[in-house]
Amino acid sequence: MRTVSRTLSRRGILGLGAGAAAAATLAGCGTGTSSDGAGHSTGSDQGKNGQDGGGSTAGRPIGDGSTSFTGKQPHQPDKPEPLEPGQTPPQFVIFSWDGAGEVGNGLFPRFLDLAKQHGASMTFFLSGLYLLPEAKKRMYEPPNNLRGASDIGYLTDEHIKMTLTNVRRAWLEGHEIGTHFNGHFCGEAHGSVKWWTPQQWESEIRQAKAFVKEWRTNTGWSDMPSLPFDYDKELAGGRTPCLLGQNNLLPTAKKLGWRYDASSPGGLQVWPVKRLGIWDLPLQQVPFPGRSFEVLSMDYNMMANQSKNSTHAPAYNYPGWRKQSAGAYIAGFTRAYETNRAPFFIGNHFEHWNGGIYMDSVEEAFKHIAAEKEKGADVRMVSFRQFVDWMDVQKPEVLAKLRTLGVGAQPTGGWKTFLA
């Protein structure tokens, strides 16, 4: 199919650096420092001392007690099985969130509630700095940048606590905790992640993990429960800032035993491949209603094409833009579901750009997809790690056959014949 390439330039928004263009648009990330709310109160979702929907699960402390062993993660799917000959592949849909900080606008618990309501799992790419107090920022040594520098700033103590609460709840409710690394340095400058070496990526990852594994020491807080997982085992993949630097990240990801990377820009809706033994799971180009080009499946890219990077465009645009962005996600899902069944990857941020319309549109798309699942369609709303669990048990020849299907391509003779 024909895709018109569109590239937009930008400078940082809400404290973020510029991102690389993918074939259709750009990718960017939201800040944790802005607290302009979406009108959704955190309310009882937070609970006392972080004891929210996950309950008071205790475990064996790891290190300083910031994390702990609590056993097998709850709410996981059954053990995956390989496709039988002639079986139609499931339609996998993966919603993911870059940054995963809660800054009092209620967006993190809003989407946890939504996922719980529909029995879905998601992936949260946590920025390590979101658990490091600003008073301790000089602990962070970003490659090719000044000590303590960060293009996303630092959270307040209150917001770090909210983030801990929601990350804890997310894991206990079956979601995956990946990484969005730390300082979010984008653009073309020397300090950008675009230029980092494999060794520098290793340093960045080591620090990102340390900020999660040692938040109790770094904050001095003893009145909040541990995160209920071993992050060394939990961390199976990530997404780089602005989708930059994947080529040099992959050797390090392989060395560290990661199973996937979600950093590639400009992917198509086809079945994925491995690079250096790691599943390459890119954001994808999807139809953009009313336009001749396609857009990457992320909120920032919707905004970049609608308001030219303005996060506070005139409000009269909002209803049409909300409908258009929801329609893009739904069109991407429908195209895959009705044709090649390629997995559908969606990336977003907890943000309030243009009046929060992108949060509303992704929720609308989420509900549309969940409704198909609840009507009996074989739609699986899973995390990235759960998806690669399924991929890893499939027969190589079956995956090779699936990869012959282009975007929007029907299996010749139907699935029973195509995968006989």
Q: Is residue 174 part of a domain?
A: yes
The CA–CA distances, whole Å, from 222 to 48, 82, 148 equal 14, 46, 25
Tokens standing for residue 27: 């990718």
E strands present in 262-374: 274-275, 278-280, 285-287, 294-296, 344-349
Dihedral pair phi/psi, residue 19, rounded to 5°? -115, 160
pLDDT at 11: 27
Q: Is residue 69 part of a domain?
A: no
Judging by DSSP bridges, how do beta strands 123-126 and 91-99 pair with one another?
parallel
pTM score, whole prediction: 0.89
Task: Calculate the average pLDDT of the chain.
Answer: 89
10-residue mean pLDDT series, the chain (420 residues): 32 28 42 33 33 57 98 97 98 98 98 98 98 98 98 98 98 98 96 98 98 98 97 98 97 98 94 98 98 97 95 98 98 98 98 98 98 97 98 98 98 97
- CATH at residue 251: 3.20.20.370
Q: Is residue 53 part of a domain?
A: no
2/408 Cα distance (integer angstroms)? 11
Q: Is residue 107 part of a domain?
A: yes
pLDDT at 266: 80
pLDDT at 4: 32
- Report the domain count for the chain: 1
Helix (H, G, I), strand (E, B) or coil at 87: coil
Q: Is residue 124 part of a domain?
A: yes
pLDDT at 16: 30
129/209 Cα distance (integer angstroms)? 10
- Helices 318-338 and 299-307: crossing angle, nearest 10°? 130
Q: Is residue 162 part of a domain?
A: yes
| Cβ neighbours around 247 below 10 Å, total | 13
394/89 Cα distance (integer angstroms)? 11
Give tens-digit pLDDT for 376-418.
Answer: 999 999 999 999 999 999 999 999 999 999 999 999 999 999 9
Q: How many C-alpha atoms does 136 have within 13 Å on its Cβ side?
A: 19
The CA–CA distances, whole Å, from 308 to 34, 284, 304, 311, 393 equal 20, 20, 5, 9, 43
Give tens-digit pLDDT for 8-38.
Answer: 323 232 223 222 333 333 445 544 333 333 2
The CA–CA distances, whole Å, from 176 to 103, 140, 173 equal 20, 25, 9
Tokens standing for residue 111: 């989407």
Please say whether the beta carbons of 237 and 259 come within 8 A. yes
Q: Is residue 30 part of a domain?
A: no
Please say whether the beta carbons of 236 and 176 come within 8 A. yes
Q: Is residue 108 part of a domain?
A: yes
pLDDT at 288: 98
CA angle 133, 138, 142 (to 5 degrees): 105
Boundaries of domain holding 353: 87-418
